Structure 1
Amino acid sequence: MNDDPSRRRLGRGLAALIGEMDTVAPAAEKPRTAADGKVPIEFISPNPRNPRRQFGDADLTDLAQSIREHGVVQPVVVRPAPRQDGRYEIIAGERRWRASQRAGLAEIPVIVREVDDRTALELAIIENVQRADLNPIEEAQGYQQLIDEHGYSQADLGQVIGKSRSHVANTLRLLRLPDVIRDMLVDGALSAGHARTLVTAQDPAGLAKRIVEDGLSVRQAEALAQMPPAQQREPRPAAAAQKDADMLALEKLLSDATGMKVTIAHKDRGGELRIAYRTLEQLDELCRRLKLER
């Protein structure tokens, strides 16, 4: 294994390099991480190599409203933009920057760090992985970037991000899936656990469709993946027949209300309601709404 000291340092986590910028504190106290200052929002640009590509519109709207009321609690971490005097490039906090624009802020608090391209990419990946902000495909693409551009081994990556080598290897395997299945992962229709069962399947797209339609668990998907493709496509029992219009309408109503994908598996006696979230912020928002309804 490469024993680069900078990689050992990164293994201590994001906070060791850029401070406790993402510590979650009680809402009533609203403590703020000390910023190096404020920068006009138009002088800040996103990192084009940021592994995170998906920013939910509903999430940004909710965060923008919070920023209007309470300001930016955690500063955005930036570095001086290469070859652009007076401008800055985001290392961590692009979601906060985007929401601040929606909120109409003229300036935003920043923490400035002098880091090179490799460290900036490492920090962006670490921050997003620690906050569970990346969908599985974005996470895999971020790992692949570090391997391709900076010669990391899978063991190096595991040490840096605080994950096992097997987690890194299994995540990278998702990049071998067809685009149609990658889209399901990005949309939250499939979990990473489901997707891993499809990597070696003979008909991954067909199997993925059945997993989604039948609401199969990961264990059920694994068992189905061991069957020949012909058996995988056998008609489902009557109990798993196509959903009627009322059930589909209810799923859409709940999905629109939560901003997340909702599926209902109704049986003769009860059933199962599944809500797929992509980020911890979405889960926090769902919990907040449920508490308000009590």
Structure 2
Amino acid sequence: MSANPVKVNKDNATATKPLSKAALAMMQKSESNYHGTAEQREADLESTAVLDKERERAKGGKGAKLLPMELIDPSPFQPRQRGSAGFSDNEIASLAEAIAKQGFGLLNAIIVRPSTRAEGRFELIAGERRVRAFRLLNRAEIPAIVKEMDDQDAAAAALVDNEERVQLTQYEIAHSFKRYEECFPGTPAAEIARRFHQDIRLVYRCEYFWKLPSEVLDLLDKNPALLQASYAEKFSLLCDKHPQGETFVIEALKQVNDGLNDSDPEKEKFTLSHAKKQVERQIKGVERKPPAPKVSLFVDGVDKPVASMTRSKRNITLSLDRIVDPARFEKWLQENLKGALLELAYEKQGT
């Protein structure tokens, strides 16, 4: 008499996975050869199934195999690799501790593809944090699933994997777009949006990051959350509005960054909105035309100016002191100014 398969929980729509060869062999034992009650036999079968699941889990899931760590190369499409803020030591240490406590290793295997640069090696697609944690634990092997994947799919998969596990900043997403465009020049924005599962408006706005001054990009490398793509657009336009725009933007964003690093809760934060308004005021201030210089006119025997004169591009303004009679001065101008103007006009025509 053959044993019944492992019992299926009727309250659960999902049946138990097929048993291992050892479990099936046990099922084929007759009752005369099995020394134990029916309940014990059923418990043994269930224990075998659990052990099989744990062994599969230790390998990182179905379809995974153990790969030597030394054969895995980093992904060129990793969104978080640029700048010191990509992966924090605390973040990796915490993950390593969690993996060590599990006893069986990873719950999810990393994903790699055969390297296009070196035979026998693999390029990481998804699982950068897990690889770093395994290296921290000095593990020689890591559970991995090997997939055939072209560069376009590999780039998109790296971004999707990061977004599922950590909240990427828009600056980090912009780096993924940029690397993709560098690898595949001429790719339309709509195609990039489709492959990366992003709004096409974000694709366009992320371009403004690369129009910001290099000093601002240095700040973003250290703190990718400093500003979003919408503010990258606003500050980029302010940089172009005036020759001193870049200087004002750099100063303002440094103030924002300093405020983010300041742990004093009582201190009012200098926000991006404050920075934008400050730059706008500064640009407006330098755009105002300086007042025309004033020239004071003196005459012999009088110790103070009898008139002052200012000149703009094509206008001359004359202001008289109270000691000068305006009517007599006007008459004098009419009598003497005509000849002088006529002479100047002839000189200009002659040149």
TM-score of the aligned structures, taking structure 2 as reference length: 0.51
Q: CA deviation at 1:132?
A: 4.3
Give the 3 Å change call, closer, same or farther, for CA 58–209 of structure 1 in structure 2. Answer: same
Q: CA deviation at 1:198?
A: 1.9
Structure 1 residue 98 corresponds to structure 2 residue 132: yes
Give distance in 1, aligned partners of 2:226 and 2:124.
Answer: 30
Out of 137-146 and 211-220, give the one that drifted further. 211-220
Cα distance in 2 for residues equivalent to 1:179 and 1:120: 29
Q: Take 2:146 and 2:170, find their aligned partners in 1: how far apart are those partners?
A: 29
> Which of 190, 198, 214 does residue 226 from structure 2 map onto?
190
CA-to-aligned-CA distance 1:235-267 (integer Å, 9 cap, x gap): xxxxxxxxxxxxxxxxxxxxxxxxxxxxxxxxx
Using the TM superposition, name which of 120-129 and 166-175 deviates more: 120-129
Q: 1:39 aligns with which of 42, 67, 80?
A: 67
Q: CA deviation at 1:229?
A: 3.9
Per the normalisation by structure 1, the TM-score is: 0.60
Q: What is the CA–CA distance in structure 1 between the aligned matches of 2:113 and 2:124, rounded to whole Å? A: 7
Q: Give matches, 1:1-294, under 5 Å.
A: 33-53=61-81, 54-70=86-102, 71-132=105-166, 134-150=168-184, 151-188=186-223, 190-192=226-228, 194-201=231-238, 202=245, 203-213=248-258, 215-229=269-283
> Residue 194 of structure 1 contacts residue 221 of structure 1 at CA under 8 Å; is this kept in 2?
no
How far apart in 2 are the matches of 1:45 and 1:148? 20
Residue pair 1:45, 1:88 contacting (<8 A) in 2 also:
yes
Q: Which moved more, 1:68-77 or 1:186-195?
A: 186-195
Per-residue deviation, 1:110: 0.7
Contact 2:68-2:141 at 8 Å conserved across structures: yes
Structure 1 letter corresponding to 2:270: L
Per-residue CA deviations over 1:132-168 (Å, capped at 9, x if unaligned) read 4544433212202222322322222222222221111
User: Which structure's CA Rg is the greater one?
Assistant: 2
Q: Deviations over 1:9-61 (max 9, x none)?
A: xxxxxxxxxxxxxxxxxxxxx99643421112122111234333122122111
The alpha-carbon deviation at position 130 of structure 1 amounts to 4.4
Q: 2-side partners of 1:231 and 1:106: how far apart?
A: 63
- Give the whole-Å Cα distance in 2 for the aligned partners of 1:143 and 1:225: 29
Residue 99 of structure 1: CA displacement?
1.0
Distance 1:223 1:230 in 2: 10
Question: Structure 1 212/45 Cα, relative in aligned 2: closer, same or farther at 3 Å?
Answer: closer
Is the 2:208–2:232 contact (alpha carbons within 8 Å) kept by the matching residues of 1? no
Deviates more, 1:118-127 or 1:59-68: 118-127
Give the 3-state SS of the residue equivalent to 2:125 in structure 1: strand
CA contact (8 A) 1:78 1:89 kept: yes
| Residue 179 of structure 1, CA deviation | 2.4
State the AA in 2 paired with 1:46.
P
Contact 1:80–1:86, Cα closer than 8 Å, also in 2:
yes
The verdict on how the C-alpha distance between 1:133 and 1:85 changes in structure 2, with shifts beyond 3 A counting, is farther
5+ residue gaps, structure 2? 1-56, 239-244, 260-268, 287-351
Alpha-carbon spacing, 1:97–1:133, altered in 2? closer, same or farther (3 Å): farther
Tell me how far 1:118 sits from its aligned partner: 2.5
DSSP-derived class of the 1:190 partner: coil
Contact 1:75–1:109 at 8 Å: present in 2 too?
Answer: yes
Q: How many angstroms does 1:75 deviate by?
A: 0.8
Give the letter for the 2:226 counterpart.
L
Match of 2:75, SS state, is coil
- The structure, 1 or 2, with the larger RCO (C-alpha pairs under 8 Å, 6+ apart) is 1
Which blocks of at least 5 consecutive residues in structure 1 are unaligned?
A: 1-29, 233-294
Give the superposition deviation at 1:91: 0.8
Matched residue SS, 2:107: coil
Mapped to 1, the partners of 2:215 and 2:117 lie a distance apart of 39
